[in-house]
Amino acid sequence: MEQTTADGLLDLRADCSRCFGLCCVALPFTASADFAADKAAGEPCANLREDFRCGIHTELRQKGFTGCTVYDCFGAGQKVSQVTFGGRDWRTGSRADARRMFDVFPVVRQLHELLRYLTETLTLPAARPVHADIRALLAETERLTRGTPRELEEVDVPAHRQRVNVLLLRASELMRAGAGRRKERRGADLIGARLRGADLRQADLRGAYLIAADLTGADLRGADLIGADLRDADLTDADLTGAFFLTQPQLDSARGSAGTRLPGSVTRPAHWAAGF
Ligand code: SF4
């Protein structure tokens, strides 16, 4: 498999119509600002309908399930439902199959997240020196996602992630060549920081904590945003053109406006227009 365009990235997004609501069953959540109730792993959410659709899909934020609106399985849900388990759902299959389905879903989700980053790297021209290695790892990762349930259970995800990360780091260096040490903000604690209008061009913001930061009008062009925590960050009128390794869940967790400029790898969150 080789996907090298923004369309390829969109293919690595959830398609709930081909999934048996796996994220609504397999994953646990705790009552909090993001979830209105507790739920154990393997237990169907009380809002999940018989047809595997969410009964409160259009009012998740109003009903206290914001966490669901910022979650993306990167296409793992449909892969596990339709490929790994060949279209057998957890309601009608055996209990053992259901348990195994819930166990492998997080594994495939992590692999799909890696596929998403690898695929994006192939759209970054400055990262061309690592494209051949990226293609090889992309093919290997895709092959892993197509394993049997037993094979998937045995995948060493942290080790595989580490191999991917080495290449993503190299790609980031190539993309941000010449940015200078001033732009090194990797893992920085920028919670609530006042970064209105800040020059963050080509900044390394890998894993930075930007929760509730004021990034109004900030210049984030060409920034590496992998793993940056953007919950409630204000991106109103910020410029993220060419920013990379920004995922849709990250963006969905932030606030923004019609004036926020986005890279082609993500789409403008619908709730920005609604003012949530
Ligand atoms: S509230 Fe809806 S989207 Fe969220 S876990 Fe429950 S059924 Fe799924």
Q: Which backbone phi and psi does 170 adopt, to 5 degrees? A: -60, -40
Tell me what pLDDT residue 7 has: 57
Look at residues 194, 239, 195 and name the one whose alpha carbon lies nearest to residue 220.
239
pTM: 0.91
- Name the pLDDT band for 181 (thresholds 50, 70, 90): confident
Protein residues whose CB sits closer than 6 Å to any atom of ligand 1: 24, 45, 47-48, 54, 56, 65, 68
End-to-end CA distance of the chain: 38
> Which numbered atom of ligand 1 lies nearest the CA of 29?
5
Amino acid identity for residue 182 in this structure: R
Asked if residues 178 and 130 have their Cβ atoms less than 8 Å apart, the reply is no
pLDDT digits (tens, 9 = 90+) for 48-67: 999 999 999 999 989 999 99
pLDDT digits (tens, 9 = 90+) for 74-109: 999 999 999 999 999 999 988 999 999 999 999 999
Could you give all domains of the chain from N- to C-terminal order, each with its CATH number?
16-174 (no CATH), 179-276 (2.160.20.80)
Q: How far is the CA of 92 from the centre of ligand 1 (A)?
A: 20
Asked if residues 162 and 110 have their Cβ atoms less than 8 Å apart, the reply is no
DSSP one-letter string for 196-226: TT-B-TT-B-TT-B-TT-B-TT-B-TT-B-T
Q: How far is the CA of 221 from the centre of ligand 1 (A)?
A: 34
pLDDT digits (tens, 9 = 90+) for 221-230: 999 999 999 9
- Name the pLDDT band for 2 (thresholds 50, 70, 90): very low
Tell me what pLDDT residue 198 has: 97
In the block, residue with structure tokens 């507790």: 38
User: Environment class of residue 1 by beta-carbon count within 10 Å: exposed (0-12), middle (13-18) or buried (19+)?
Assistant: middle
Q: How far is the CA of 69 from the centre of ligand 1 (A)?
A: 9
